[in-house]
Amino acid sequence: MQKALTFMNLQLNLVVADITGVTGMRIIRAIVAGERNAATLAEFRDTRCKSSKETIQAALEGNYQSEHIFALRQALIMYDAYQQQVHECDVEIEGVLRRLSINKKKPDAPIPKPKHRTKQPNQLNFNVRESLYHLVGTELTQIHGLGPYLALRLISECGINMSKWPTATHFASWLTLCPGSKISGGKILSAHSRKSNRVRLFFNDPKALKYQLVTDFH
């Protein structure tokens, strides 16, 4: 969709944080539906959008040539189709977690309050925290640096049986979070962590997580 908007000289990406957000999608759907007036399109601004209506209106002064509208319409149709596929994947994942938890005893303590309430771009369309809490028996998102999506990825890759790693230190080493120890003649040549995709698979900020993981992960 962004390519079509660029050809139309519509600078929507500069005035909204994400063109697939609430404001962006309202405007794009209105354009595809036939609206061309920039002032009218700016009225679709969500109240949470940081840009003013005047700023959005100025960004929507462009050319609405039929070929570019066609390209935008095709891109929107594909976007909606992919969103439907993502929703079906979410439903399937929720079902798998529910089946895995059938023989699990539900934790006695209520689930703790979430540490962060920020909505993630890749957030799943069901309550991941509650599903994982029932399956694992502990609230993984209470660990610094772990959100619901990353906790789900962690469980899907490592499972819930952590006995293969005797201690949290062993797990941190497997993730290549531990400092290196290249020493020659009593002199430290390098203490950098080894390069690996394992930590990047789970965590966006491995440096901030390095020591927190060792103390919090159980």
Residue 173, both tokens: 């080493």
Provide the residue ranges of all domains of the chain, joining segments of one domain with +.
2-95, 101-160, 163-218
Find out whether 177 and 164 touch, Cβ atoms under 8 Å. no
Location of structure tokens 């950098």? 192
The residues near 21 (Cβ < 8 Å, ≥ 6 apart) are: 46
Instruction: Give the Cα separation of 36 and 28 in Å (integer).
Output: 11
Burial class (CB in 10 A: 0-12, 13-18, 19+), 12: buried
Find out whether 150 and 202 touch, Cβ atoms under 8 Å. yes
Q: Per-residue pLDDT averaged across 152-181, rounded?
A: 80
- The predicted pLDDT at position 196 comes to 57
Number of H helices, E strands in the chain: 11, 2
Instruction: Give the Cα separation of 114 and 93 in Å (integer).
Output: 21
When the pLDDT of each residue in the chain is averaged and rounded to a whole number, the result is 81
pLDDT digits (tens, 9 = 90+) for 60-74: 998 999 999 999 999
Find out whether 165 and 174 touch, Cβ atoms under 8 Å. yes
pLDDT digits (tens, 9 = 90+) for 122-146: 778 888 888 888 888 888 888 877 7
β-pair partners for 188: 183
Q: Kindly report whether the global pTM for this prediction surpasses the value 0.85.
A: no
Out of 51-65, 79-93, 99-113, 168-182, pick the least confident: 168-182
